[in-house]
Chain A
Amino acid sequence: MDDAVAELFDAVQRLHDEDVTVVTSVRLSSSLREAVKAAVKAGMDANPNDAMLNAVRDRLEAFTQRLALDIHYERYPDARPSLAEIAIAAAQLDDSSLAHDHNLLRRAADEVVRVKPDADADDVLVYAAALQAALDPTSPTAAAS
């Protein structure tokens, strides 16, 4: 692991600790600044500062977790879940009726990567819902469409 990645992991671990704040300057386009102000008025966040912090924090966390997962899979290749397994987890988290049909989700995962090689779990869920609707027009996913 290079020094920059190690430094990133260390810093992100401290994101949720009590921390001193520092003032820093960020160059924004005027349109972005106006959009943030308008979004705050519309209820996105409490103030423009929170809006900017939340956006940066979310990106940092997602980027860092991705790096960590990929490093973990390099060390433990068997730990990497398949696309079908991730789609099953997504359906469970969503309380989707598809969560109970593992065969359908596996088939959808196999097929969707042929048309979208970088497909993720949500692509599989959409594809599986379409398959289910085609196979059984009385299914919940068909009724919802």
Chain B
Amino acid sequence: MVLDNEAVQALLDPTHRKHRAVLAHLEVRNQRQRGRRMNIRVLVPVAVRVEAGWDRTAATAADINRISAAVDVDLRRGGADRAVQLRQATEVSVVDATVGHAAESGTHPAVILTSDVDDMSRLAGTLEGDVRVVGI
């Protein structure tokens, strides 16, 4: 499960109108992991953290650090190259291109959790592997 910018924004702010919706997806992850039915990993590209203002060392990030259980996806050379290719192919933003890279790099099937279903669906259509888009 890959978080995009608004999914992170929603998690950061308990008053955000989509806060519960994103928590519902994290609850699925937790229920299935506790029941050992499925291991769903939550990924967040580092560029999404930058855009959303998620500094893991900030006191205000303590909740999201813990409830999301998200693992950072770093952008090394190969990942940067792939993000460039995705951006050129789909004209998505730089940050969205790194979401595409993160979705490709995780285990599949992968899901991108986003509020921008149209752009992300266009992006997902170009990705390798089984990647779907879920709107929040």
Residues of B within 8 A of A93 (CB): 1, 25, 28, 40, 111, 134
**CB atoms of B67 and A86 under 8 A apart:** no
Residues of B within 8 A of A (CB): 1, 14, 19-21, 23-37, 39-40, 56, 62-63, 65-67, 69, 71-72, 111, 132, 134-135
Majority secondary structure, A binding face: helix
Complex interface: chain A residues within 8 A of B31 (CB): 86, 120-122
**Does any Cβ of B come within 8 Å of A4's Cβ?**
no
Q: Are A88 and B66 in contact (CB under 8 A)?
A: no
Whole-angstrom CA separation of A121 from B33 in the bound complex: 12
Would B24 and A66 count as touching, CB distance under 8 A?
no
Binding site for B on A (CB under 8 A): 9, 12-13, 16, 58, 61-69, 71-72, 75-76, 78-81, 85-86, 88-90, 92-93, 95, 120-122
- Distance between Cα atoms of A43 and B80 in the complex (Å): 32
Asked if B67 and A65 sit within 8 Å, CB to CB, the answer is: yes
The reply to whether B37 and A122 contact each other, CB–CB distance below 8 Å, is yes
Evaluate contact between B63 and A72: CB separation under 8 angstroms.
Answer: yes
Residue of B nearest to A68 (CB): B66
Residues of A within 8 A of B67 (CB): 65, 68-69, 72
